Structure 1
Amino acid sequence: MSATTRRLMKEAAELSASSPSPSPHFFAHPVSDSNLFDWHFTIAGPPAPSPYAGGVYHGRIVLPPQYPLRPPSFRFLTPSGRFEVNREICLSISGHHEETWQPAWGIRTALVAIRSFMDGDPKGQIGGVDAPDEVRRMLAQKSREWRCECLQGKTNAEALQEWREMCRSKGIDPDEEEKGAAPPKEMQLHVKNPPESAKSGNETNTTSVSQEQSSPPRAGTTESGMEQPRTTAAVATPRTPSAPSSTGSPPPNVSQESPWLDRAIIGVFIALVFMILRRLVHMDVL
């Protein structure tokens, strides 16, 4: 038996009716005993005054073969006005952001997080819907009558009520919110675009530009909204050797004494010629 299979069987037991401390606000289970990688969940909406109060929603969890080293994906099958139907939700606990997933998290922790995030602002989140509160309240009531084959003919509300009665038999009050059920602070919703506060980092400060004319332009912002480091020193540009001037003036590095050297050489040459001619004349005289 692989480590992934053992982990999934353990989580299925923790979320089953045999668990010593089930949550009265949601339950989840594999769709079939032969496939531990495809789960369904049923979850109650957040308490009043949330527009999802009274709603009971159904969704799907798909786990990768590398779970828990890689995160699962989550999607709602019941319309809610908060998440698109049958589209993967962009969460720090989902496959959209594998870099933030922690193997210590599990399906139960993820469902606690999803329930707490329902009242959050979509802000362009992938899979998010920004519907009016009246639409969300209407869909919350309709969600109670929604049915899935995995619930064996029961509606969402009937299945959750049956689950809550089981929790009550174990001394768990369904009307009370779970203590310590808040998701880890590392969990969060993710959006497609950076918030406006991050976008403002793209604006150029004219005062800074005037004081740093030797610096290159600002690099702007990254996709996460973080401003990239700005270089404060001028970038060195390779110099190309300049061609000699056509005016005949010597290059800057040539010594200015070179004309005197040329004259000395010419003088020596003239003296040698004069001495040769004088010797020739003397020989003719003899």
Structure 2
Amino acid sequence: MPKAKVTGATSRLKQDYLRLKNDPVPYVTAEPVPSNILEWHYVVKGPEKSPYEGGYYHGKIIFPREFPFKPPSIYMITPNGRFKTNTRLCLSITDFHPDTWNPAWSISTILTGLLSFMLEKTPTLGSIETSEYQKRCLAAESLDINIKNKMFCELFPEYVEEIEKLIKKREEALLKANNSNMNSNREVTTEQQSNMYYILTNLFVIVGFVLLAYMVKYVLISISD
């Protein structure tokens, strides 16, 4: 946990942090910035059987000094096909709707609400409409994007390790596919060469028979004469 001047927000966020560690939110991890406890970064790991499966979505939560009496603002950093990046999200758990905010809500509540809304299709300010295919493409791209993000790498080393393994596995699969295609092309070329050899051999045999027939005919005519 980062060191910070003790305030109401600091004390509450430290408590929420401990609760979050003891009772993690499924598919979502969050860590405060070491130098500023009011800024947290989170990662949503795409749930199975969703368009986000295989993706790692990085975002941040900015808490006001008046937290928990005032709500935070939430941003998504990684392109995801659901939310605009680096844009304040309009959710009932953010500062877009202070009238719906409940001071009893914790960081776990915020992360759970964010994941729930991400999996829905309800439009709101900051959301975008994309196809499931585009979301799956962005899920694959998220690996390369996050591995280049300094804050992501500093706060989530366990995910960096996972992503590096996935990227290595993907590269090995691509290399294997390329080698397989090359071998297939070689086999096709060899087969084509074999077919050509077979055709030429048969052609030579036919031509040989034709020449032999003409020679026999010539000899017979000569004998007859």
If the TM-score is normalised by the length of the shorter chain, which range does it land in? 0.5 to 0.7
| Distance across 2 between alignment mates of 1:161 and 1:26 | 15
The TM-score normalised by the length of structure 1 is: 0.50
| Partner of residue 153, structure 2 | 152
Among 28, 31, 34, the residue aligned to 2:30: 28
The TM-score normalised by the length of structure 2 is: 0.63
CA pair 160-109 structure 1, distance change in 2 beyond 3 A = farther
| Distance across 2 between alignment mates of 1:21 and 1:66 | 25
| Partner of residue 131, structure 1 | 130
Q: In the alignment, is the contact (CA less than 8 A) between 1:58 and 1:156 conserved in 2?
A: no
The residue type paired with residue 7 of structure 1 is: R
Among 8, 12, 20, the residue aligned to 1:7: 12
Query: Deviation string for 1:174-232 (max 9, x for gaps)?
Result: xxxxxxxxxxxxxxxxxxxxxxxxxxxxxxxxxxxxxxxxxxxxxxxxxxxxxxxxxxx
| Distance across 2 between alignment mates of 1:112 and 1:43 | 10
Higher helix share: 2
Question: Could you say what the CA RMSD is over the residues aligned between the two structures, in angstroms?
Answer: 2.3
Q: In the alignment, is the contact (CA less than 8 A) between 2:25 and 2:111 conserved in 1?
A: no
CA pair 66-129 structure 1, distance change in 2 beyond 3 A = same
**Structure 1: where are the runs of 5+ without partners?**
163-286
Query: Deviation string for 1:50-94 (max 9, x for gaps)?
Result: 211221100010001110000011110000010000001100000
The residue type paired with residue 23 of structure 2 is: S
| Distance across 2 between alignment mates of 1:65 and 1:11 | 15
| Partner of residue 41, structure 1 | 42
Deviation at 1:156, TM superposition (A): 8.4
In the TM superposition, what are the counterparts of 1:42-121 in structure 2 within 5 Å? 42-48=43-49, 50-121=50-121
Q: In the alignment, is the contact (CA less than 8 A) between 1:60 and 1:74 conserved in 2?
A: yes
Q: In the alignment, is the contact (CA less than 8 A) between 2:58 and 2:152 conserved in 1?
A: no
The residue type paired with residue 45 of structure 1 is: G
| Distance across 2 between alignment mates of 1:156 and 1:45 | 18
| Distance across 2 between alignment mates of 1:141 and 1:121 | 21
| Distance across 2 between alignment mates of 1:103 and 1:11 | 12
**Structure 2: where are the runs of 5+ without partners?**
1-5, 164-225
Aligned residues: 156
Q: Relative to structure 2, which stretch is displaced further, 114-123 or 101-110? A: 114-123
| Partner of residue 217, structure 1 | none
The residue type paired with residue 14 of structure 2 is: M
Q: In the alignment, is the contact (CA less than 8 A) between 2:81 and 2:130 conserved in 1?
A: yes
